[in-house]
Structure 1
Amino acid sequence: MFSRNDFSIWSILRKCIGMELSKITMPVVFNEPLSFLQRLTDYMEHTYLIHKASSLADPVEGMQCVAAFAVSAVASQWERTGKPFNPLLGETYELVRDDLGFRLISEQVSHHPPISAFHAEGLNNDFIFHGSIYPKLKFWGKSVEAEPKGTITLELLEHNEAYTWTNPTCCVHNIIVGKLWIEQYGNVEITNHKTGDKCVLNFKPCSLFGKELHKVEGYIQDKSKKKLRALYGKWTECLYSVDPATFDAYKKNDKKNTEEKKNSKQVSASEESDEMPMPDSESVFIIPRSVLLWRIAPRPPNSAQMYNFTSFAMVLNEVDKEMESVIPKTDCKLRPDIRAMENGEIDQASEEKKQLEEKQRAARKNRSKLEEDWKTRWFHQGPNPYSGAQDWLYSGSYWDRNYFNLPDIY
């Protein structure tokens, strides 16, 4: 691991307040040794929730599992403050996990704006999970905000059901000085396009005393907006389901206690800072008769020395001789700057990254001279079949293992 304290990030970012960061070149020391295409794959760590949703006949119970999956998809970001490498145009990534019952392909389909498309499918033909993400990054002086533009779609094939949603906004605090910490905030609305049911989850922004830190709560409601279930928990820990009336009574009581506490404590100006607030309690208060939907898997003991990776993230770069002979040459497991960084060779990683970026710029200039448009290989642009929003959809044939005319990007 390398210390960011040896570098002046302020000298790079001071001219960027309020701007998008996708065009700013950052020193490699601020990265983690994964491409953003691999970071997207973290969504799949808790694939068992999709398999479970697929096995349930009751659509409300299915929605609970889908909501838990949507929350679990951002859980891996907790304490992951390293920036993934920006994918090169045409870069790909594949992951096959027989033990978790899925395979996934992703491709960088656009450079400006940077758009990453992915398509995962259950090995038992029980689901398809796909999306295209355009992370809009903005720097606000003390923090970097990442707004994940793009639709995420989950199809449960046995039930002929499709769900769509967008991830919450992610914010990394204290990027200039102090301890880095991450929060997720905003509403996530999951729609079941077959039944009209919706699950609206609110990822709470952190309050002054840390009371709302990491909290997520919301309701599953039918198309007439009748509340069917209440969901609550922390995106870093767990998610529970309970009867809405029970939850509302608990919330009412909790609000009363909070107001009493607030009135008895005056807030001084010195307490208002960007330092990471401590939550009022580390664990979630479990309301009686609640059902546990999901709990985060513990991280391995050496996680802090390995970029705070989960066990799932630690194997995303693994490639053996047999795999190397079948994956396309555009797969980021073969990318030299990421490989160098994973081996702890920071100077070589920096040099390799610079060369790859120069090669990408030269290729773009050459296409411009020849008036050629970039052609994506595994995805095409089109409307999302359920939400109608602009999307990138899988074109098929990747797993035929017949790769030809691939771009020379490394």
Structure 2
Amino acid sequence: MQVESESEAAAATTAPVLTAPLSLEGGLAAELQPANLLQRVLSLFRNVRPGSDLSHFQLPATFNLPKSQLQLYGEGVYCVGEDYLRRCARGSDAVERFTAVVAWSISTTRPPIFGFAPYNPVLGETHHVSSGSLHVLLEQVSHRPPVSALHATDDTGDVELVWCQNPIPKFHGTSVEATVKGKRHVRLLKFSESYEIDCPNLLIRLLPAPSVEWSGTVRIVCKESGLEAEICYFRSSAFLGLGGDPRCVKGKIFSSRSGETICEIDGHWDRTVSTKDEHTGKTSVLYDAASAIADLKTPVVRNQEGLSPSESAVVWGEVSEAILEKDWERSRQAKRRVEETARRLDRERNEKGEVWIPKHFSLTQDKHGSWECCPLEKSVPPAPIIVPS
């Protein structure tokens, strides 16, 4: 029975590379984006059939952001300006806490970048970062299908996050849509409340005009309070896929017990989102992207010796370094080494009849095919990587 991390063996002796998180400015994309990007993207799908599952589609390094998908998931939690997560545990009543959770959910939405994607994490890859008193740990718990797990706890003992995500990207001829399966759970321990949150889908339009946007309906449910929310991500006033604003959100918070609407939600996730109280008509700002996801700080290594060989920034360090230097041949070779090592270890495990077991989570699948992850430890320890205060 194989319990060591696949990525521990795959990691080269290279320095960890951490890059700027995606924020409103999106400076990282501007540095990498070539002039003929659309033509290059279209060439990728020349031999791909509509309806194909792209979960294991291998991108050339020239199309990669210099970071892993695990890092992108984590950044949505630990890279913040205004801390909406801690506000959730400070609410004086159930409605105030639920509204804060809705705001936090919107804060995890970051501007996607057309033509670029993060690395597909290798099996057993981990990402461990602390931001203040919040400690976040992610692990790639499955490769086929790709499943990522997250556990985060705060030293105050007020908040815990657990989620398990399985993105399923499919090619539809003129677009690619990534449906993100799995639930995010926010637990407010002091109030014995648990909030179950869906993820929006990612829609990449190739024609008639290239774009990338979040879409679909996010549902948030708290069974203890009987409150629910539905938030729709959509493109407004579009005609034949042209024009319109792709960053609109609209929805409502309501009681699942009575069906009564408490407030309406309206705005843009990259600007402000407001609520309108159904009883008083009062409008107030629920979320402000300028304070939440602008000018975000890049994590740094605090304890080099404490880094795990499976850490994303180590596993992909040489690839990211080469991409940042625009040394495309070196990035291609380094990426191939990481992926070939992971494939070789997978073959060896299969030949020996060994079963790989996640290091930090237990993984199960229900009768509907949904994946669920349970942390093996009650709390996440402080990390060797931190977000500067």
The reply to whether TM is greater than 0.5 is yes
Summarize the Cα distance change of 1:114–1:390 in structure 2 as closer, same or farther, 3 Å threshold: closer
Summarize the Cα distance change of 1:382–1:344 in structure 2 as closer, same or farther, 3 Å threshold: same
Is 2:328 the partner of 1:297? no
State how many pairs are aligned: 340
Summarize the Cα distance change of 1:96–1:81 in structure 2 as closer, same or farther, 3 Å threshold: farther
> For the Cα contact (< 8 Å) 2:152–2:379, is it kept in 1?
no
Can you list the C-alpha shifts for 1:188-222, whole angstroms capped at 9, x where unaligned? 11001211111111222444254563211111111
Give the aligned residue type for 2:307. I
Match for residue 315 of structure 1 among 289, 298, 306? 298
- CA distance in 2 between counterparts of 1:242 and 1:5 reads 44
Give the aligned residue type for 1:143. S
Match for residue 355 of structure 2 among 351, 359, 373? 373
Give the aligned residue type for 1:54. A
Shift of 1:361: 0.9
Q: Point out the structure with the larger helix share.
A: 1
Summarize the Cα distance change of 1:196–1:66 in structure 2 as closer, same or farther, 3 Å threshold: same
TM-score, length basis structure 2: 0.80
Match for residue 331 of structure 2 among 329, 349, 356? 349
Match for residue 159 of structure 2 among 127, 137, 158? 127
Of the structure 1 ranges 41-50 and 105-114, higher mean CA displacement relative to structure 2 is found in: 41-50
Tell me the SS of whatever aligns to 1:351. Answer: helix
Q: How does 1:10-409 map to 2 (within 5 A)?
A: 10-16=42-48, 17-44=50-77, 45-46=79-80, 48-74=83-109, 76-79=110-113, 81-98=115-132, 101-174=133-206, 180-209=210-239, 210-211=243-244, 213-222=246-255, 223-244=257-278, 289-297=282-290, 311-312=295-296, 315-316=298-299, 318-319=300-301, 322-334=302-314, 335=316, 336-382=318-364, 390-396=371-377
> For the Cα contact (< 8 Å) 1:20–1:137, is it kept in 2?
yes
- CA distance in 1 between counterparts of 2:52 and 2:85 reads 37
Q: Provide the residue aligned with 1:5 in structure 2.
A: 36
- CA distance in 2 between counterparts of 1:324 and 1:27 reads 30
Can you list the C-alpha shifts for 1:315-348, whole angstroms capped at 9, x where unaligned? 14x33xx522002110011122123323433321
Shift of 1:164: 0.3
Give the aligned residue type for 1:395. L
- CA distance in 2 between counterparts of 1:207 and 1:374 reads 49
Gap runs ≥5 in structure 1? 248-288, 300-308, 403-410
Summarize the Cα distance change of 1:203–1:244 in structure 2 as closer, same or farther, 3 Å threshold: farther
Q: Which of 1 and 2 has higher RCO (CA within 8 Å, sep 6+)?
A: 2
Can you list the C-alpha shifts for 1:211-250, whole angstroms capped at 9, x where unaligned? 5632111111112211111111112212111123687xxx
Shift of 1:350: 1.2
Gap runs ≥5 in structure 2? 1-31, 384-389
Summarize the Cα distance change of 1:291–1:40 in structure 2 as closer, same or farther, 3 Å threshold: same
- CA distance in 2 between counterparts of 1:383 and 1:194 reads 25
> For the Cα contact (< 8 Å) 1:78–1:236, is it kept in 2?
no
Q: Point out the structure with the larger strand share.
A: 2
